[in-house]
Amino acid sequence: MSADNEHSENGDVGAREESGSEGAVATSTDRLVDLYREMAQIRAFEEACNRGFRQGKIGGYLHVYIGQEAVATGFLQAYKEGDKVITAYRDHAHALLLGTDPKAVMAELYGKGTGMVKGKGGSMHLFDVERGLMGGYGIVAGHIPLGVGFAYAQRYQETDHITQLYLGDGSMSNGAFHEAANLAGLWGKDGMCPCLFIIENNKYGMGTSVERTTAMTDLAAKFDAYGIEHEKVDGMDVEAVIECAERVTEQVRETGKPYAVEALTYRTVSHGAADFMEKYRTKEEVNEWRQRDPIGLLEKRLLENDALDEEKIDEIKNEAKELIAEVVKFADESEQPDLDELYTDVYTGADEYMGKE
């Protein structure tokens, strides 16, 4: 991430690195340092969003990704140009990782005309079609049928692209999930649905735990009902996520069959800006998960390997703060959208989204 949309010091962190060995990823130290930097910037971005909301600069609603950074960071390492990414409303990190200018992301949250969707979408509706981000959706599970549809279209149009479909644990109790998973399994039998379901199981929906919403808490296993293979991954460990992401993405791309990964993660902050998590979570539980914070875990590993020292860590964190301060300044000083914009981009054809003439 950089305010001018340049690549980071050690190259584009979104780029896939050849591993050499079968399936396994040789996660080089440089690459891990890049990922650490990227996650630190995402964290600083999200913290700035929380401040912006409290100051009344960000309107509407706000859901940050604090604690879950390793999931999108890891999975998007397997992203290839032409692939599609679709997620719910906790979407800032996905846009930043796909390379959208962070200034345009923050300006969007500030409702400004310089925002990535001209200030019309806000936090929950980020889109960057050019970079494969197909949204940003506020209706829980509403995006799941769309993601499955994108994957079908990718094979129908005879491409080798895949769709990364991120979904929350809470969305899996919604009917839209079950209908879409059923079709994905069915189409997948003919190699016609290269959809990678990425369940971000952060243990809670909106104030309600997984245990209180479903008798079947093994979420990955629900995909058995639809003939979709699945596994679980430690969503706090970015290296584990990358290993899984590279391997299963390859499989989905090759076979055209859907696959599901349940990433076990935790949002160490409230569900959204108007949620008081103290009502339904104990301090002990939150503190326990903070010990496994994805950025902290990677930092520890890099310190142990002498890939980083305290001085370098401070430098990376300060750089992240400076970058985000610039981003916030840009958003704050940008103009409101033009009134003429009110009726533009309201309707569009699906063909345009799929890159068809």
Ligand X SMILES: Cc1ncc(C[n+]2csc(CCOP(=O)(O)OP(=O)(O)O)c2C)c(N)n1
Is 313 in contact with 307 (CB distance < 8 Å)? no
What DSSP assignment string belongs to 80-147?
Answer: -TT-EEE--S--HHHHHHTT--HHHHHHHHTT-TTSTTTTSS-TT---BGGGTB-----STTTHHHHH
138 binds ligand X (CB under 6 A): yes
Q: What is the helix, strand, coil percentage profile of the chain, to 5?
A: 50, 10, 45
Q: Is the dihedral of CA 52, 92, 119, 3 positive or negative?
A: positive
90 binds ligand X (CB under 6 A): yes
Single-letter code of the amino acid located at 200: E
Is 290 in contact with 269 (CB distance < 8 Å)? no
Report the residue closest to ligand X, judged by CB: 168
| Contacts (Cβ under 8 Å, ≥6 apart) of 44 | 317, 320, 321, 323, 324
Helix (H, G, I), strand (E, B) or coil at 246: helix
168 binds Mg ion (CB under 5 A): yes
Helices (H), 214-346: 238-255, 283-290, 294-304, 310-333
266 binds ligand X (CB under 6 A): no
173 binds ligand X (CB under 6 A): no
74 binds Mg ion (CB under 5 A): no
83 binds ligand X (CB under 6 A): no
Identify the residue among 140, 151, 181, 252 touching ligand X (CB under 6 A): 140
Which CB, 99 or 168, lies closer to Mg ion?
168
Which tokens in the block code for residue 88?
């719910």
Question: Pick from 172, 229, 178, 168: which is nearest to 200 by CA?
Answer: 168
Which CB, 119 or 168, lies closer to Mg ion?
168
Identify the residue among 27, 202, 265, 270 touching Mg ion (CB under 5 A): 202
262 binds ligand X (CB under 6 A): no
Q: How many residues bind Mg ion (CB under 5 A)?
A: 4
Which CB, 90 or 103, lies closer to ligand X?
90
Q: What are phi and psi for residue 157, nearest 5 degrees?
A: -90, 10
Identify the residue among 123, 164, 202, 265 touching ligand X (CB under 6 A): 202
Identify the residue among 206, 303, 307, 354 touching ligand X (CB under 6 A): 206
168 binds ligand X (CB under 6 A): yes
Scanning 97-105, 145-153, 167-175, 247-255 for contacts with Mg ion by CB under 5 A, the matching segment is: 167-175
Neighbours of 239 (CB within 10 A): 18
Identify the residue among 36, 204, 259, 289 touching ligand X (CB under 6 A): 204
271 binds ligand X (CB under 6 A): yes
Scanning 51-59, 66-74, 162-170, 231-239 for contacts with Mg ion by CB under 5 A, the matching segment is: 162-170
**How many angstroms separate the CA atoms of 167 and 277, rounded?**
21
Scanning 15-23, 54-62, 198-206, 233-241 for contacts with Mg ion by CB under 5 A, the matching segment is: 198-206
Binding site for Mg ion (CB under 5 A): 168-170, 202
Binding site for ligand X (CB under 6 A): 90, 138-140, 168-171, 202, 204-206, 271
